[in-house]
């Protein structure tokens, strides 16, 4: 029996059938489109009987609609009259057994029963002018009445999807379920099922495939695996998102293409592994590198009294030829206008002046080469220009615009060049806060400004991921926009001659690879599941390796590198090849741990083959150690720690009877390790973390030789005793 209940906020009468009128679920046990229930209602005032039929149907959007037939007259639920109120009260009274003789006034209802309550008409979408003035908008197109009177541009915000409390609760449960699937690592999964289908973000939301980034094509070639086209083309700031703020973390783990909160990827975590832990005389906290950097002398830069800018054009040319390829965050079409504005102000306080000085500093660094090749006490290349720009940053920190964010990301790039990772992180957090403000609110942004926002965003995200991969730093919260910010496609020409090249091949390839590296950390190295069984590990490793192969095969020919052991003339190909083998190493690295724990596990051919792939990738990174100079501007610090990690892994393998069989001859391995030690020693004076890393490697190599000599003496005694 249908129940009639008063609803003072919406309508005098509403039929629910046990559900809310807005629910999209059909009434239980109902197989017909409409159900009709006759009710005899007695009016206590008129002492007459009236026949009331209740008809319930499904509205166009799955909602209920109700018709009341009273003595042959049809009333819909949107009508309101005193008769309806009486019917509502009387039917409820009959069904509950309560008396309806006494009136039950509702204080929320108007007492005048002669009027009909119509819902107030509102514009479905109010224009921006009416929203800002908090005035009623009539919704007329192309201009509403107020904008016509003010002669203002009438802009309507596109409607978004409004979620009620039930929808949000459902999404929260879905995110929780997806997070559980991701963290359980599919321990019981076997066969050829696509593992990453369960780990990638929901396809219903972003249409992603294997969690890859969108295919923003350049010259007709798809560099990256497809992600959501809508997300890729979405304008900056069109999707308001909550601001998490500095140091917070979104507990939803549905997006595994961002760095996890706790993981064991850092290089010094290897010092806790069997065999490798014996290479050092004392235990090291994996966060000791962070502690060393925190205790470092602060960077004190005094602005130069005079600055020689006669070679500004030379440095700018070097920047666009050698530096901008890594960051792609300076528009070559607007460079000359920036330079003119900076010269017009005498290179004093302005965003344009700061950009010009930072470009000059990075251009000078590009000409000078790696910091590891500079004399220990010499001034860093480009430091005077950077010091002049550094003096302008305090005033830019309070400005929340694209130009200020661009200055901060360029300054962070130079700090990475001079091996100041914590100072770079401090600027990156400020950049992250600016970007979160820029990306959160609805803004009508010019195409080139939107393009710059996207480029600064991806630089910030990649820088932060590189730092979080080695040090336990607070997350800035910028990862929440990772699925909504599009990829760069190129600046508009603006009918001017560009100051240099604006190539995006490397930048897009690095974005995809960084997301894959983050995925590896999520699926293999999270602290929630430190020791995975071979059965759980195998399908995940195979899928991640497949995605890495897919990334390589999708590289366009200008940046695709050969796998052969040949030196490359292109620094872009050289860096991508090093990054490729670094990613491959950490994908297969858990099998080395398995072999070091239990030598008998190497009897499994799968374990043996995965260990071979890991060690081969390690050697490919260390074989030609000077190749790391190609990425000296963006990756000197990160590349040095990668060398430390691979060298510790190789040292442990040389002491394992089963793993050492997979390595080249002993003399060759000793030569590779000695080359790494010499290279790391060149970095030692650049940062305390580099000095500590060099000390650890020297001690480890010394103890490795002692342990290996002891092993060889033991083998000789065993052979002598056997004979």
**pLDDT at res. 534:** 81
Q: At what angle do helices 447-468 and 402-417 cross, to 10 degrees?
A: 40
Say if residue 464 is in the same domain as residue 405.
yes
Rounded Cα distance between 290 and 421, Å, is 10
**pLDDT at res. 18:** 37
Is 527 within a domain? yes
**pLDDT at res. 106:** 53
Is 211 within a domain? no
Helices (H) and strands (E) in the chain, counts: 24, 6
Mean pLDDT estimate for the chain? 76
Is residue 254 over pLDDT 90?
A: no
The two three-digit tokens of residue 305, written as one number: 């009294």
14 or 606, greater pLDDT: 606
Say if residue 568 is in the same domain as residue 582.
yes
**pLDDT at res. 35:** 43
Say if residue 453 is in the same domain as residue 519.
no
Instruction: Label residue 205 by pLDDT band (50, 70, 90).
Output: very low
Is residue 232 over pLDDT 90?
A: no
Is 637 within a domain? yes
Q: Are the C-beta atoms of residues 516 and 547 closer than 8 Å to each other?
A: yes
**pLDDT at res. 104:** 52
Among 19-28, 396-405, 447-456, 593-602, the minimum mean pLDDT is found in 19-28
**pLDDT at res. 82:** 42
Instruction: Label residue 197 by pLDDT band (50, 70, 90).
Output: very low
For 650-691, the pLDDT digits (tens) are: 999 999 999 999 999 999 999 999 999 999 999 999 999 999
Is residue 215 over pLDDT 80?
A: no
**pLDDT at res. 522:** 87
Sign of CA dihedral 525, 506, 410, 245: negative
Rounded Cα distance between 44 and 90, Å, is 9
Rounded Cα distance between 424 and 694, Å, is 22
**pLDDT at res. 529:** 60
Among 105-109, 522-526, 530-534, the minimum mean pLDDT is found in 105-109
Say if residue 449 is in the same domain as residue 538.
no
- Segment 203-219 shows an average pLDDT of 34
Q: Are the C-beta atoms of residues 64 and 53 closer than 8 Å to each other?
A: no
Is 677 within a domain? yes
**pLDDT at res. 124:** 57
**pLDDT at res. 159:** 60
- pTM for the full model? 0.67
Say if residue 286 is in the same domain as residue 313.
no
3-state secondary structure 40-99: EEEECCCCEEEEEEEEEEECCCCCEEEEEEECCEEEECCCCCHHHHHHHHHHHHHHHCCC
For 339-373, the pLDDT digits (tens) are: 999 999 888 888 999 999 999 999 999 999 888 88
Give the number of other CB atoms < 10 A from CB of residue 48. Answer: 9
Question: 390: Cβ–Cβ under 8 A, 6 or more apart, which residues?
Answer: 301, 303, 411
| Among 502, 530, 564, residue at a domain's last position | 502
Q: What whole-number percentage of the chain has pLDDT above 70?
A: 67
The two three-digit tokens of residue 529, written as one number: 């599941």
The H-assigned helical ranges of 97-139 are 128-133
Among 181-195, 379-393, 536-550, the minimum mean pLDDT is found in 181-195
Is 583 within a domain? yes
| Among 502, 535, 564, residue at a domain's last position | 502
The two three-digit tokens of residue 452, written as one number: 């710059």
Say if residue 461 is in the same domain as residue 429.
yes
Instruction: Label residue 530 by pLDDT band (50, 70, 90).
Output: low
Say if residue 495 is in the same domain as residue 574.
no
DSSP code at position 304: P
| Among 470, 502, 534, residue at a domain's last position | 502
Look-up of token digits 């192309």: 142
Is residue 158 over pLDDT 50?
A: yes
Say if residue 498 is in the same domain as residue 511.
no
Say if residue 444 is in the same domain as residue 511.
no
For 472-512, the pLDDT digits (tens) are: 899 888 888 888 888 999 998 877 889 988 889 999 999 99
Strand partners, 54: 37, 68
**pLDDT at res. 295:** 92
The long-range contacts involving 294-303, CB below 8 angstroms and separated by at least 24 positions, are 294/422, 295/688, 296/422, 296/687, 296/688, 299/415, 299/420, 299/423, 301/383, 301/386, 301/387, 301/390, 301/391, 302/387, 303/387, 303/388, 303/390, 303/391
Is 685 within a domain? yes
656 or 716, greater pLDDT: 656
For 322-342, the pLDDT digits (tens) are: 999 999 999 999 999 999 999
**pLDDT at res. 461:** 94
- Segment 65-80 shows an average pLDDT of 44
Is 197 within a domain? no
Considering only CA atoms, which of 155, 40, 60, 571 is closest in space to residue 326? 571
For 136-154, the pLDDT digits (tens) are: 888 888 899 999 988 888 8
Is 174 within a domain? no
**pLDDT at res. 619:** 95
Is residue 71 over pLDDT 70?
A: no
Q: Are the C-beta atoms of residues 70 and 87 closer than 8 Å to each other?
A: yes
Say if residue 305 is in the same domain as residue 286.
no
Rounded Cα distance between 258 and 275, Å, is 31
Is residue 228 over pLDDT 70?
A: no
Q: Are the C-beta atoms of residues 235 and 450 closer than 8 Å to each other?
A: yes
Number of domains in the chain: 2
Is residue 109 over pLDDT 50?
A: no
State which residues form the domain around 476: 300-502
Among 19-28, 58-67, 71-80, the minimum mean pLDDT is found in 19-28
**pLDDT at res. 528:** 64
- The per-residue b/e assignment along 143-180, b for 16 or more CB within 10 angstroms, e otherwise, is bbebbeeeeeebebeeeeeeeeeeeeeeeeeebeebbe
Is residue 180 over pLDDT 70?
A: no
**pLDDT at res. 620:** 93
**pLDDT at res. 722:** 57
Q: Could you give the angle at the alpha carbon of 472 between the alpha carbons of 468 and 473, nearest 5°?
A: 75
Say if residue 310 is in the same domain as residue 356.
yes
Note the Cα 515 to chain centre separation in Å.
8
The two three-digit tokens of residue 609, written as one number: 């083959």
For 45-63, the pLDDT digits (tens) are: 444 444 444 444 444 444 4
**SS percent in the chain: helix, strand, coil, step 5:** 50, 5, 40
Q: What whole-number percentage of the chain has pLDDT above 90?
A: 44
For 381-417, the pLDDT digits (tens) are: 999 999 999 999 999 998 989 999 999 999 999 999 9
Strands 4-7 and 11-15 come out as antiparallel
H or E element: which one contains 4? strand 4-7
Among 117-131, 223-237, 241-255, 469-483, the minimum mean pLDDT is found in 223-237
**pLDDT at res. 689:** 95
Say if residue 313 is in the same domain as residue 427.
yes
């Amino acid at each position: 029996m249908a129940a009639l209940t008063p609803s003072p906020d919406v309508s005098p009468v509403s039929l629910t059938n046990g559900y809310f009128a807005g629910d999209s679920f059909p009434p239980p046990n109902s197989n017909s489109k409409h159900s009709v229930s006759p009710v005899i209602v007695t009016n206590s005032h008129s002492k007459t009987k009236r026949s009331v039929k209740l008809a319930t149907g499904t509205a166009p959007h799955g909602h209920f609609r109700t018709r009341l037939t009273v003595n042959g007259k049809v009333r819909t639920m949107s009508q309101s009259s005193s008769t309806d109120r009486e019917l509502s009260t009387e039917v409820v009274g009959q069904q509950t057994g309560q008396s309806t003789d006494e009136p039950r006034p509702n204080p929320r209802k108007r007492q005048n029963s002669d009027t009909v309550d119509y819902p107030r008409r509102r514009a479905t979408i109010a224009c921006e002018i009416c929203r800002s003035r908090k005035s009623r908008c009539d919704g007329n197109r192309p201009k509403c009445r107020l904008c016509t009177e003010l002669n203002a541009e009438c802009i309507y915000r596109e409607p978004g999807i409004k979620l009620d409390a039930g929808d949000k609760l459902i999404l929260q449960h879905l995110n929780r379920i997806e997070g559980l699937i991701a963290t359980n690592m599919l321990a019981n999964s076997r066969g050829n099922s696509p593992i990453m289908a369960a780990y990638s973000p929901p396809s219903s939301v972003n249409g992603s495939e294997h969690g890859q980034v969108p295919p923003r094509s350049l010259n007709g070639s798809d560099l990256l695996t497809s992600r959501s086209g809508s997300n890729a083309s979405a304008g900056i700031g069109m999707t308001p998102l909550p601001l998490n703020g500095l140091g917070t973390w979104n507990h939803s783990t549905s997006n595994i293409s961002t760095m996890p909160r706790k993981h064991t990827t850092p290089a010094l975590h290897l010092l806790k592994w069997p065999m490798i832990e014996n290479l050092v005389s004392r235990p090291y906290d994996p966060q000791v590198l962070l502690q060393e950097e925190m205790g470092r002398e602060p960077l004190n830069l005094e602005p130069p009294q005079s600055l020689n800018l006669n070679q500004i054009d030379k440095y700018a040319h070097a920047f666009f030829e050698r530096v901008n390829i890594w960051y792609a965050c300076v528009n070559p079409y607007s460079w000359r206008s920036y330079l003119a504005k900076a010269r017009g102000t005498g290179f004093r306080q302005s965003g344009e002046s700061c950009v010009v000085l930072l470009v000059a500093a990075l251009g000078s660094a590009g000409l000078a080469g790696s910091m590891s090749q500079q004399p220990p006490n010499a001034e860093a290349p480009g430091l005077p220009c950077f010091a002049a720009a550094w003096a302008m940053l305090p005033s830019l920190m309070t400005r929340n615009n694209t130009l200020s964010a661009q200055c901060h990301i360029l300054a962070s790039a130079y700090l990475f060049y001079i091996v100041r990772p914590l100072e770079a992180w401090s600027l990156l957090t400020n950049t992250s806060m600016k970007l979160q403000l820029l990306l959160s609110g609805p803004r009508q942004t010019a195409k080139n400004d939107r393009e710059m926002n996207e480029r600064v965003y991806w630089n910030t995200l990649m820088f932060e991921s590189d730092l979080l991969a080695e040090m336990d730093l607070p997350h800035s919260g910028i990862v929440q926009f990772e699925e909504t910010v599009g990829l760069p496609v190129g600046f508009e020409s603006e009918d001017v001659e560009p100051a240099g090249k604006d190539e995006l091949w490397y930048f897009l390839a690095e974005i995809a690879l960084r997301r894959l590296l983050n995925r590896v950390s999520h699926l293999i190295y999270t602290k929630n599941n430190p020791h995975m069984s071979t059965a759980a590990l195998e399908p995940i490793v195979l899928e991640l390796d497949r995605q890495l192969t897919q990334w390589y095969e999708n590289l366009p020919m200008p940046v695709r590198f050969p796998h052969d052991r040949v030196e490359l003339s292109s620094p872009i190909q050289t860096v991508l090849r090093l990054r490729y083998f670094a990613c491959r190493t950490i994908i297969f690295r858990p099998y080395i741990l398995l072999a070091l724990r239990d030598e008998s596990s190497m009897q499994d051919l799968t374990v043996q083959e995965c260990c071979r792939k890991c060690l081969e990738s390690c050697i490919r990174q260390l074989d030609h150690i000077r190749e790391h100079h190609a990425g000296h501007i963006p990756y000197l610090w990160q590349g040095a720690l990668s060398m430390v990690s691979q060298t510790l892994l190789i040292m442990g393998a040389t002491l394992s009877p089963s793993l050492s069989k997979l390595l080249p001859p002993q003399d060759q391995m000793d030569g590779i390790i000695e080359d790494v030690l010499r290279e790391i020693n060149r970095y030692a004076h650049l940062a305390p973390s580099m000095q500590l890393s060099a000390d650890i490697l020297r001690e480890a190599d010394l103890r490795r030789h002692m342990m290996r000599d002891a092993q060889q003496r033991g083998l000789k005694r065993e052979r002598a005793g056997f004979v």
